């Protein structure tokens, strides 16, 4: 479930992020002076060279504080004898920033709903309540695209409008807040934080750099394979990108003289970032628990009558061949389409070995994290046989991490994006569910199916057209989960009405939900992370 940006190791609508000060971000160390040579602090307090440069994550993108002009210069006072034109004093406060909603996006978003409600004729087979809810839902979706307010705030306005207009009762409007899949998504943020806090993801990726990093292509494969292995137990692509892989890529790039935002970026960094970014969607699509939106897709499919038995195993069986082929092909294809100037990286394995030595042996918390995630994944795989729901398995895992001190409650409270997602995602999913109950989704699917049949399209052709439309519409979205909540149910219903087999349609839409996260620099949380990493950080020599 990846939204636009990373906040507290998870998705948010911000376009920049701060990595946690943990072992996962110790590859880079920010200093007030330019990073020209890697250093480490000896016990004596002296600074000595280190093989791998590290950057303190808490200030990764924080600009250096600039002194106020009013503190450097005395205030300028006008006098009657002065011949200079009257100017505003430099000590005068700047104009206050705009507060509240952005006017133009706000008006456009509201207007879309009003036009549908009052100007577009209501179809006779649709009830007034359903049509009114559709107008509110469309305004809410438009706000997700145009962002007149933060996502959570805008969703709350939509929820309030549905209650004030008596479109939904209070209990109906808040029904989705008890949805088990949404809580599973929230808990997945906490698991991702545990991986980053303990440094386990960092350690796994470093091992693959050590084993495969003698060439640039091997380095890319090492990072790609390590993410694929981590993904089923770390269900946030954004957290994997920002908490594990971006710091490693930056460290390796800087050591090779490849600096972000500089022509030297083409030596190594640009290729590694692009390869990792494009491969991340394949890792997320390989396992049901590799991305939070995967679980939501199956929940929405279930509401439309598409039941997938043994979901974890069924998902993996269907995804394994295309995902594994894509994981192996993507770094190689990009190696020729977007070639790095540096082909060999003979120092990378030694750097990784030095890094592992610096990290020391596997800590107790890392072992606890390994055991807990193996238990959680096992329960996700065999939970249906054992009668244990996926969210219950996640709750058991989180309880273990809290009880043994790997995570504390402050870690959970500080995951603002998890709680933000709970709020706005529950609103969106709740509205989508009510639209299904009120018959809007079936009406829309019947209209689309009739149009496709009028053109004498067979179901395979209709399948291709609808899948392509669902994929390309993501150019209008900055969130994968937002796209799912807004359009997945409607497109699945269209597939079913066109005669497409239900399981095929549900899984294909879900896989596309992961793949279109790499369309643009704003199309997902990991997109914002990698784009911010290569454009906002500067290393001045």
What is the per-residue pLDDT for 30? 40
Name the residue with higher pLDDT: 3 or 403.
403
> Taking the C-alpha atoms of 85, 90, 96 and 98 in order, what is their torsion angle to the nearest 10 degrees?
70
pLDDT value for 220: 94
What is the reported pLDDT for 532? 77
Q: How many CB atoms lie within 10 A of CB 279?
A: 25
pLDDT band at 70 (very low <50, low <70, confident <90, very high): very low
**278 touches 330 (CB < 8 A):** yes
Q: What is the pLDDT of residue 55?
A: 36
pLDDT of residue 303: 87
* HSE-CB for 228 with a 13 A CA cutoff: 22
**For the chain, domain boundaries:** 103-176, 199-360+439-536
Residue 92: band (very low, low, confident or very high) from pLDDT cuts 50, 70, 90: low
**Mean pLDDT, range 343-364, rounded to an integer:** 92
pLDDT at residue 323 above 80? yes
CB-CB contact of 277 with 516 (8 Å): no
User: Once rounded to an integer, what is the mean pLDDT over residues 179-187?
Assistant: 87
pLDDT tens by residue, 358-393: 999 999 999 999 999 999 989 988 887 888 988 899
Q: How far apart are CA 305 and CA 301, in angstroms?
A: 7
* Mean of pLDDT values over 335-364: 92
Identify which of 292, 283, 240, 290 has the alpha carbon closest to the alpha carbon of residue 484.
292
Q: Which of 51-65, 227-241, 445-459 has the lowest mean pLDDT?
A: 51-65
**Of residues 108 and 449, which shows the higher confidence score?**
108
pLDDT digits (tens, 9 = 90+) for 194-213: 998 999 999 999 999 999 98
Geometric angle at alpha carbon 478, from 474 and 483, rounded to 5°: 50
pLDDT, mean of residues 450-474: 89
Give yes or no for residue 94 having a pLDDT over 60. Answer: yes
Q: Are 220 and 253 in contact (CB under 8 A)?
A: no
Q: What percent of the chain has pLDDT over 70?
A: 81
Q: Is 379 helix (H, G, I), strand (E, B) or coil?
A: helix
Dump the DSSP string for 162-214: HHHTTSS-HHHHTGGGG-HHHHHHHHHHHHHHHHHHHTHHHHHHHHHHHHHTT
Count CB-CB contacts under 10 A for residue 335: 18
Question: pLDDT band at 91, cuts 50/70/90?
Answer: low
**Would the pLDDT of 538 be above 80?**
no
Residue 51 Cα distances to 87, 167, 170, 351, 446, angstroms = 54, 63, 59, 6, 63
- The mean pLDDT value for 34-50 works out to 40
Structure tokens at 444: 């829309």
Residues contacting residue 424 through CB under 8 Å, at least 6 positions apart: 151, 152, 154, 155, 156
Q: What CA–CA distance (Å, rounded) separates 131 from 508?
A: 29
Checking if the pLDDT of 257 tops 50, the result is yes
Beta bridge partners of 39: 49
pLDDT digits (tens, 9 = 90+) for 117-165: 999 999 998 999 999 999 999 999 899 888 899 988 999 999 999 999 9
* Percent of the chain's residues with pLDDT above 90: 46
What are the residues facing 215 on neighbouring strands? Answer: 344
User: How far is the C-alpha of 527 from the C-alpha of 65, rounded, in Å?
Assistant: 27
pLDDT in the model for residue 261: 74
Q: What is the spatial distance between Cα 186 and Cα 426, in angstroms, rounded to a whole number?
A: 11
Asked whether the predicted pLDDT for residue 319 surpasses 90, the reply is: yes
How far apart CA 224 and CA 463 sit, in angstroms, is 30
- Span 262-309, pLDDT tens digits: 788 888 989 999 999 999 999 999 999 999 889 889 989 988 899 998
């Amino acid at each position: 479930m990846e939204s636009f940006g990373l906040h507290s190791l998870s998705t948010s609508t911000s376009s920049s992020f701060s990595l946690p000060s943990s072992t996962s971000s110790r590859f880079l160390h920010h200093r007030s002076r330019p990073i020209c040579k890697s250093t480490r602090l000896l016990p004596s307090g002296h600074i000595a060279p280190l093989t791998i440069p590290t950057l303190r994550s808490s200030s990764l993108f924080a600009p250096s504080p600039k002194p106020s002009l009013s503190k450097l210069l005395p205030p300028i006072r006008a006098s009657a004898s002065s011949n200079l034109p009257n100017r505003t004093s430099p000590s005068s406060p700047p104009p206050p920033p705009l507060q509240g909603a952005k006017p133009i996006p706000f008006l456009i978003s509201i207007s879309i709903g009003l036009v549908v409600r009052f100007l577009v004729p209501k179809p006779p087979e649709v009830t007034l309540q359903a049509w009114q809810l559709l107008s509110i839902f469309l305004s809410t979706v438009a706000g997700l695209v145009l962002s007149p307010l933060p996502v959570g705030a805008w969703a709350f306005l939509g929820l309030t409008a549905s209650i004030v207009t008596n479109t939904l009762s209070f209990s109906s409007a808040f029904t989705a807040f008890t949805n088990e899949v949404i809580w599973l998504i929230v808990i997945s943020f906490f698991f991702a934080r545990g991986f980053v806090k303990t440094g386990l993801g960092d350690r796994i990726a470093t091992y693959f750099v050590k084993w495969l990093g003698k060439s640039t292509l091997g380095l890319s494969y090492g990072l790609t394979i390590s993410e694929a292995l981590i993904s089923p137990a770390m269900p946030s692509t954004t957290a994997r990108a920002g908490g594990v892989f971006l710091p490693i890529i930056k460290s390796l790039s800087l050591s090779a003289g490849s600096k972000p935002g500089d022509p030297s970026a083409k030596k190594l960094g640009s290729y590694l970032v692009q390869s990792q970014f494009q491969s991340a969607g394949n890792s997320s699509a390989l396992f049901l628990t590799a991305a939070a939106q995967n679980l939501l897709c199956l929940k929405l499919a279930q509401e439309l009558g598409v039941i997938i038995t043994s979901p974890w195993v069924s998902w993996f069986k269907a995804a394994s061949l295309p995902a594994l082929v894509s994981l192996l092909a993507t770094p190689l294809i990009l190696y020729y389409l977007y070639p790095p100037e540096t082909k060999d990286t003979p120092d990378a394995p030694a750097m990784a070995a030095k890094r592992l030595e610096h990290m020391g042996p596997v800590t107790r918390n890392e072992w606890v994290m390994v055991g807990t995630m193996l238990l959680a994944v096992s329960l996700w795989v065999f939970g249906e046989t054992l009668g244990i729901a996926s969210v219950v398995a996640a709750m058991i895992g989180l309880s273990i991490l809290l009880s043994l001190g790997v995570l504390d409650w402050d870690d959970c409270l500080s995951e603002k994006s998890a709680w933000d997602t709970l709020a706005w995602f529950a609103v969106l999913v709740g509205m989508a569910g009510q639209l299904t109950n009120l018959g809007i989704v079936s009406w829309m699917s019947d209209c689309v199916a009739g149009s496709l049949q009028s053109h004498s399209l067979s179901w395979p052709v209709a399948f291709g057209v609808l899948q392509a439309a669902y994929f390309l519409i993501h150019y209008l979205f900055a969130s994968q989960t937002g796209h799912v909540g807004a359009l997945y149910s409607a497109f699945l219903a269209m597939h079913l009405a066109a005669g497409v087999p239900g399981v095929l349609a549900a899984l294909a839409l879900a896989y596309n939900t992961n793949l279109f996260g790499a369309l643009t620099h704003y199309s997902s949380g990991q997109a914002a992370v990698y784009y911010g990493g290569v454009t906002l950080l500067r290393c001045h020599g």
